[in-house]
Amino acid sequence: MVIKAIPLAVLVEDMAIYPRHSVDDTHVGQLVLALRSGVTLPPVIADAQSKRLVDGWHRVRAYRKVIGAVGVIDVDLRRYASEADLLADAVSLNASHGRRLDRIDQVRAIHLLERVGVDQERIALVLHIPAARMEQLRVRIATVLSPSGEVVETIPLKRPILHLAGMSLTQEQRAAHESMAGTSFLLQAHQLRDALKFDFVNRLDERLLAALRELHGALTAFFLEQQTAA
């Protein structure tokens, strides 16, 4: 282990080796409060050659908010024999401590590891899950197509659209998926139904009313299409 004081500005956030689908701003905020109260966080881990973050994205972002981008922190610099070893370490470290990897994170990690040639047995090991569970997670992906029809990305699907696993999405669908909540459409439909039924909707909120009108139009078109298809 080689611990060195490294400027935050030197550390690189490379999403190609980040096993999570996003950085949790709430968790970052909690770490900011911890730092300001005097808590000492464990050193982050980075690749010695490229200075890419291997573990500690949330800590680095918290440090940037507290001490600024020019601040200096302790970093555990590690050397890796290959990109596969680097990514496997990143996944293993994120899976074993800190904020747990959710299902989308696990699917993303599997895809990233397979892309650099890591075998299934090792993937199950670094994710700390049984091989059978890994096989279930592998089917939760879809491809994203470019305007010309070429596959440009593979993404883990959120719960509401798991029925699209194995299919191809447009760029517009990919963008909509990115901002989509992880709760089921059935639950969301019930919540919205109850909000309207029990008059919970703020009738003075023009933005909300505009969104509801747009939803009404989308629902009308959806059921018209269903009737036509039947």
Look at strands 151-156 and 141-145 and give their pairing. antiparallel
Q: Which of 209, 188, 190, 207 minimizes the C-alpha distance to 198?
A: 190
pLDDT of residue 26: 93
pLDDT at 47: 97
Q: What is the average per-residue pLDDT within 74-88?
A: 96
Beta strand pairing call for 168-169 and 141-145 = parallel
- Same domain for 93 and 150, yes or no, is no
Judge if 79 and 21 occupy the same domain.
yes
162, part of any domain: yes
pLDDT at residue 182, rounded to an integer: 81
Element (H, E) at 207: helix 206-229
- The reply to whether 152 falls in a domain is yes
Q: How many domains does the chain have?
A: 3
Question: Could you tell me if residue 108 is inside a domain?
Answer: no
Range of the structural domain that residue 170 is part of:
141-182
- Structural domain contains residue 200: yes
Confidence of residue 51 (pLDDT cuts 50, 70, 90): very high
Residue 173 lies in a domain: yes
Rounded average pLDDT over 182-189: 90
Q: Is pLDDT of 135 > 80?
A: no
Q: Is residue 198 part of a domain?
A: yes
Instruction: Check whether residue 98 and residue 148 sit in a common domain.
Output: no
pTM: 0.66
pLDDT, position 137: 78
Is 205 found in the same domain as 176? no
Residues 203, 172 share a domain: no
Q: CA–CA separation, 22 vs 155, rounded Å?
A: 13
In this prediction, residue 193 carries a pLDDT of 96
∠72-9-45 over CA atoms, to 5°? Answer: 65
Average of pLDDT values for 191-202?
Answer: 96
Compute the distance between CA of residue 168 and CA of residue 165 in angstroms, rounded to an integer: 9
pLDDT at 145 over 90: no
Q: Are residues 167 and 199 in the same domain?
A: no
% of the chain surpassing 70 pLDDT: 100
Closest CA to 19 of 163, 162, 152, 118: 118
Residue 43 clears pLDDT 90, i.e. is over it: yes
Q: Are residues 79 and 22 in the same domain?
A: yes
Tell me, what CATH number does 49's domain have? 3.90.1530.10
Q: Are residues 147 and 72 in the same domain?
A: no
Do residue 170 and residue 225 come from a single domain? no
Q: 68 and 36, same structural domain?
A: yes
Instruction: Note whether residue 209 is domain-resident.
Output: yes
Give the pLDDT score at 35.
96
pLDDT of amino acid 98: 64
Same domain, 73 and 7: yes
Q: 149 in a domain, yes or no?
A: yes
Claim to verify: residue 94 and residue 151 sit in the same structural domain: no
